[in-house]
Structures are given as C-alpha cells and as structure tokens.
Structure 1
Amino acid sequence: MAKSLLLISRQAPWSGPGAREALDIVLAGGAFDLPIGLLFLDDGVFQLSANQNAKALQQKDLSANLQALPMFGVEALFVCADSAAERGVDTAALALEEVQVLAAPGIVALIDRYDQVITL
C-alpha cells in the first residue's frame, strides 16, 4: 500500500520556485495514484487568489496547474483559515472551489492523517 503524502505549500506564487515545485510534486504524485493532499499555509494562500497577473511580475501563471489538480486525482485540498484572514484572502472567492478551509486544530489533525509531510 502506498504511503500517503501531505504537501504544505507556504510560498506565494511570485516569491520563487517553491510554489511551482510544490504543485509539480503534487501533480506527479497524483499521476501515480499516490494518496496525496495539498495544504496552502502562510503566504501559500496567495496561490489561491483569483485573477492574478503573473505577467506583470514576469512570472509563469500557476492557475492552469491548480485547475489540473482534480484531473490528476488530487482532491484533498486545504487552506489555513488563519493564514487567509491574516493576508486578507477571501476564502469564499478562491480560484479553486473544492478547497476545505481549516482552522489550527483541523490542520494539526490533517497532518496527523498523513504518513509523509513535505513543506515547501
């Protein structure tokens, strides 16, 4: 039986390669039917903001990768309620509709559910 993996994405989409690498790992794991989850925490919640203008920052847009997650079997998507609130990100208007919003106790329980955890 495959071990489950939770990837915690903590970087904004424009702050470096971390956000893209996190999505690449999750998509690869999903392609191989690995039980995988993705938690957007801290500045990682900015990845879920709708209508980003990546070209203005000379960055590649991550929205296509985000939209591809369900096609790769990645449906366990989570966002930290506290991180979103601290950064003014409206969890009712995220770029992905199937994201579960979790408070701190829910995040602790989520991490405990997975065999492996990677933070980027």
Structure 2
Amino acid sequence: MSKSLLVISRQAPWSGPSAREALDIVLAGGAFDLPIGLLFLDDGVFQLAPHQAAKAVQQKDLSANLQALGLFGVDDVFACGHSLSARGLLPPANAQTLDSQTIGELIDRYDQVITL
C-alpha cells in the first residue's frame, strides 16, 4: 500500500526554483498513482493567479503544469484562504480554499509532507 504525500508550495512562482520543484514532485507522484495532494500556502498562492507575465521576470510559466494536474490524477489541490485574501487574490476555481483549522486537519490526513 502506498503512502500518501502532501506537497506544500510556499514560494511565489518567480522567487526561485521551489515552485517548479513542488509541481514536478506532484506531477511525478501523480504519474505513479501515488495518493498525492498539493497545498498552496503563503506566497505559493501567487502560482494560482491568472495571467502571469513569467517572461517579464525571466521565468518559465507554470500555468501549463497546473492545468496538467488533473491529467496526472492529482485532484486534491488546495489553497489557504487567509494567504489568498492577504495578497488580494480571489479564490481560484482550480483549488479548494481552506481555512487554518482545516489546513491542520488536511496535513494530519497525509502520511508524508514535503514543504518547498
């Protein structure tokens, strides 16, 4: 029986490689049918913002990777409601918005947690 994995992405898409690495881990886990979830927290919620100008900051656009999550069997995608509102972002359609208490419960449901 495979262990479940939650990846917590806390970095903005333009702040370095962490955002891409988190997505790569999730996509790889999904490709191998690993029970996996992805939580966007803190500046990580900026990855969910529409119309990002990645080329302006010489980064690769991660939106295609986000759209591919469902194709890889990754349906458990979450975003911190407090992080979204603190950054002036609307709740995204492609992630379930959670409050702080629910995030704690979510983390407890997974066998392994990776934070990037």
Deviations 1:34-61 (A, max 9, x none): 0000000000000000000101111100
1:86 equivalent in structure 2: 86
Unpaired runs of 5+ in structure 1?
none
Give the alignment's TM-score, normalised by structure 1: 0.95
Cα RMSD (Å) of the superposition?
0.6
Question: What count of residue pairs does the alignment treat as equivalent?
Answer: 116
User: Per-residue displacement from partner, 1:50-83 (whole Å, max 9, x unpaired)?
Assistant: 0001011111000000000000000000000001
Q: How does 1:14-93 map to 2 (within 5 A)?
A: 14-91=14-91
* AA matched with 2:111: D
Moved over 3 A (4+): none
TM-score (norm 2): 0.98
Identity level (%)? 72
Gaps (5+ residues) in structure 2?
Answer: none
One-letter amino acid of the counterpart of residue 17, structure 1: P
In the aligned structure 2, how far is the partner of 1:98 from the partner of 1:112?
22
Deviation at 1:28, TM superposition (A): 0.1
